[in-house]
Structure 1
């Protein structure tokens, strides 16, 4: 592929796709992406969401690494507020030891869930930037000599915790990524209207680092591709309704195409769906390819990461195959 393309997977749960099946489907799709030449395959972290099953991305990464050959596997991302920094580094060093050169550690500053579930995940609430600083100190050996953690050596000690990425949907994440001199991934699949500004800010303020002398930005985008524009819009109908339900507190498995098409949205619900889909790319192979290339150019993105919250594995696979073929 001329433009590097990757996949962001949330293991979508449907009325006829149980959460456990959604997990298995994600592994199957990772194998397809590997065969098609996609650059990387990331698993999200969300909790207590009936339509999303990716609650343990590190486990999915380990399994996917064992059944794929060359594609990078990663977390998009590990939500820093939910985890002990030392444990994150040790998990990803272990993954990097098992799949050398293929592991990405994407770091998110949001919890990826509601406040009550966040409290259940981590009883002691610590300021997220303090957790990030601690995580980086464990990875880079950055504790002062008199710090109580200075003599802790995360194991395995002879490998890095994969490639560090900062995730974000605002200028805050872009600023942190630029300051740290690490790659940046922007969540355009739900916040596209801020993408151009955030990526421009990241690149213009980038501070080169030994591992990453140049900035590198991924832009995530909702993308659904089918044989025709009409069929792609039809396939995306359940996703539109799922977004509305999630944003209005009615979380549930994603409904069928027929049920989604029959649902009559209120003006308020339509506005929610339209805002989310503002940057979505939905269409035939050629139309999708043209729009993806234009998006990457306009946003100065070095790579695009495709997200499609479709529970139907066959539909998601066809979409990836269509796009790979059109972008070859």
Structure 2
């Protein structure tokens, strides 16, 4: 049981850059920039976007491009990936891309890495052409990438230019104990995807802390967990707004690709009992309510996990409601300088 208070730790943002029903990707990008600028003023620490492909409701497929776009529209917010799906890319290409970003926006870029494809098998094949060994090679690819971004080595036959010497902070992202152990052994910060894969959260945090070795700049384990938060002025309004999130995950369960849907008065009739159970299991760490409810539930989560930072996804259809959710959440946490 942790004794930390929310005001002791930073809070960050995960933006899936949702494409809304009857709206365009261009409008999603406009909303993302607006949200990033507002959360920067509110004192959030990081703003991460994730690599997804072939998903009608998510516009963040070209994650690196969006990171540069958001970093250019802000001034102190750390902007990064939550994450880049490394099996889809050659480590050298990622090093060059993030080395370029770090050169343009020094001290503000984070590189979070995942080992899943971020899509279905057919699309993964379209991305990579060859699926052999790509996931199994994740640990060695992480080390290769880390070396490209590490200290300058004039004798190296292959160098990331720009990139070498930039020491971009690299995070391992995960939803199981595999990434947790890898992050610990390599002495890297670790982020857990409890916003959609909650079952192994506690096991992963335990493995990470027990396996951590201070082999690099990080001397102590640093763990972040991502959760869904739908905050509004009242519990009733938050519950209404949360139905967009539920509909999005219902589409995941069904394997249907749709843009984010507007909120509805009730989910009754939209899902059956088994679908409801599956969605609620995936969204176990989703906190929905007015300010008092949110503060209590986030504090309980912190007590339970003892994480060093919480990342929040407020996936809501209405942009003004989404911004307001982040306004409410920011009041409870440590403000970033």
Query: What's the TM-score, normalizing by structure 1?
Result: 0.93
The aligned residue for residue 303 of structure 2 is 297
For 2:314 and 2:77, the matched residues in 1 are separated by 19
1:64 aligns with 2:70: yes
1:128 aligns with 2:166: no
The aligned residue for residue 230 of structure 1 is 236
For 2:126 and 2:148, the matched residues in 1 are separated by 30
1:181 aligns with 2:190: no
For 1:214 and 1:155, the matched residues in 2 are separated by 30
Aligned to 2:60, the other structure's residue is in SS state: coil
For 1:119 and 1:309, the matched residues in 2 are separated by 29
Deviation at 1:157, TM superposition (A): 4.7
The aligned residue for residue 291 of structure 2 is 285
Aligned to 1:55, the other structure's residue is in SS state: coil
The aligned residue for residue 73 of structure 1 is 79
For 1:288 and 1:154, the matched residues in 2 are separated by 44
1:317 aligns with 2:320: no
Equivalent of residue 263 in structure 2, options 252, 257, 268: 257
Contact 1:80–1:132 (8 Å) recurs in 2: no
Deviation at 1:156, TM superposition (A): 1.4
Q: Which moved more, 1:254-263 or 1:207-216?
A: 254-263
CA-to-aligned-CA distance 1:264-319 (integer Å, 9 cap, x gap):
32111111221122221111112112211221221121100001222321111000
Alpha-carbon RMSD across the aligned residues, in angstroms, is 1.9
Deviation at 1:158, TM superposition (A): 4.8
Aligned to 2:224, the other structure's residue is in SS state: strand
Number of corresponding residues: 322
- Structure number with higher helix proportion: 1
Contact 1:96–1:159 (8 Å) recurs in 2: no
Equivalent of residue 162 in structure 1, options 163, 168, 188: 168
For 2:75 and 2:30, the matched residues in 1 are separated by 18
Aligned to 1:230, the other structure's residue is in SS state: helix
For 1:263 and 1:242, the matched residues in 2 are separated by 15
Equivalent of residue 254 in structure 2, options 242, 248, 254: 248
Question: Which structure would you say has the larger RCO, counting Cα contacts within 8 Å and 6 or more residues apart?
Answer: 2
Change (3 A) 1:22 1:201: same
Gaps of 5+ in 2: 1-6, 150-154
For 1:159 and 1:9, the matched residues in 2 are separated by 29
For 2:164 and 2:95, the matched residues in 1 are separated by 12
1:137 aligns with 2:161: no
CA-to-aligned-CA distance 1:35-82 (integer Å, 9 cap, x gap):
110010000110011111110111111111111121111000000111
Contact 2:184–2:209 (8 Å) recurs in 1: yes
Deviation at 1:84, TM superposition (A): 1.2
For 2:72 and 2:268, the matched residues in 1 are separated by 42
Q: Which moved more, 1:152-161 or 1:302-311?
A: 152-161
The aligned residue for residue 14 of structure 2 is 8
For 1:52 and 1:207, the matched residues in 2 are separated by 36
Structure 1 moving runs of 4+ over 3 Å? 259-264
For 1:314 and 1:193, the matched residues in 2 are separated by 32
Equivalent of residue 270 in structure 1, options 270, 273, 276: 276
